[in-house]
Amino acid sequence: MVCDSHGNGDCAKAETVPSPKRTDETVVSLQKNGSMDYNAAITGCGLYSPSRVLDNHDLEKLIDTNDAWIRSRTGIRERHIAGPDETTSSMATIAARRALQDAELDPRDLDLVICTTTTPDYLLPATACLIQSRLGATNAGAFDINAACVGFIYGLTTACQFIRAGGAKRVLVVAGETLSRFVNWEDRSTCILFGDGAAAVVVEATTQSAGVLSTVLGSRGDVEGSLLIEAGGSAMPATAETVAANAHTVRMRGNEIFKLAVRAMAQSARDALSKAELSIRDIRAVIAHQANQRILTAAQEALGISAEQMFVNIERFGNTGAASVPIALTEYIQSNEIDVGENLLLVAFGGGLTWGAVVLRWADIAAVKLERESMLRPTRQYLKTG
């Protein structure tokens, strides 16, 4: 049974309706689909890292470990830790302002704010709503996504679908984590890994054959508890016993996660490339979730790319969860001249279990901004005369 693209009607029999071409398999087709004539391009990015840096030598004073042991197993030298007055929303707001400034976009012109995080300020309200308020994005809807370290991939995919469906023209996707408040600082298998930070991108509608070319999302319910924060939800409400047992902190089975991460990231990357009708040779750089240097190296080998093609910044940030991919993406964009038409591959794996990949073709951002002005002009004229 099939329904129309808006979920309306009583569903016609499948044999009477021709199967539509998947709009995420080729950008060119987007310009032939009537109301779905827009693609989604990144026009601005920004990141924020807390000023406090915790290096491996600092950790030697807290637990039984040393710099050489941590580096050999993770590739991490240091990580940033949120200050006492910093939260996920406060860091994400700074990153968002920087992305909006980079895109030369007034927050009042945003249609939607999507925040992806595993460490929200509160269970209620959503962190995205706090960010929306602090930015003054008075015309934007806002909601959170929790897909752990794959959150940015999920958020970018969601933004793309809103734009392609005509539900939004300008979307802010922001990822932030305060993971340092959810680790057991006596567990050296996890506390050495995680850091805090935030990053954001502005995603805008464009008629160019550029932007998000393809997306792949996957999941497998983690019923085994390979990676989880067990307490604090409705299944295990907070009690004195859960706090004493450190059940509100990250627990992970590292060996199991390693195998799953490499396999899932490599396969989702291949699937995304296939949907975009590209090969790995067409990709300028791979921006992967910075979980562990060994995972990055194994994924690099599985994809058959050089070390230079795999962007790595885990040494300076550690694993920043949902913020990991956009922090790496922002650093890459800010330190490299990317030509219009060049392709980037984003890929991640995380708790849930979740995984995903996105193929991006770099757009002519100046041209997107001109398109933006033509879209906004009627609205601004209406507001002046209304």
Length of the chain: 386
- Helix 293-303 to helix 254-275 angle (10° resolution) is 40
Decide if 192 contacts 319 (C-beta within 8 A): no
CA distances from 259 to 82, 240, 256 (A): 31, 35, 6
C-alpha angle 354/356/362, rounded to 5°?
155
In terms of C-beta density within 10 A (0-12 exposed, 13-18 middle, 19 or more buried), how is residue 160 classed?
buried
Give the Cα separation of 203 and 346 in Å (integer).
Answer: 15
Start-to-end C-alpha separation, the chain:
45
Query: Tokens 């569903």 correspond to what residue?
Result: 11
| Neighbour tally for 58: CB within 10 Å | 14
Please check whether residue 34 is in contact with residue 23, taking contact to mean a CB–CB distance below 8 angstroms: no
Q: How far apart are CA 152 and CA 330, in angstroms?
A: 13
DSSP 340: T
The DSSP result for 14-77, as a single string, is GGGSPPPPPTTS-SGGGGGSTT---EEEEEEEEEE--SEEEEHHHHHTTSS--HHHHHHHH---
Active-site positions? 149, 289, 319
Q: Are 141 and 111 in contact (CB under 8 A)?
A: yes
d(CA 114, CA 292): 26
- Calpha distance 212→244 (Å, rounded): 46
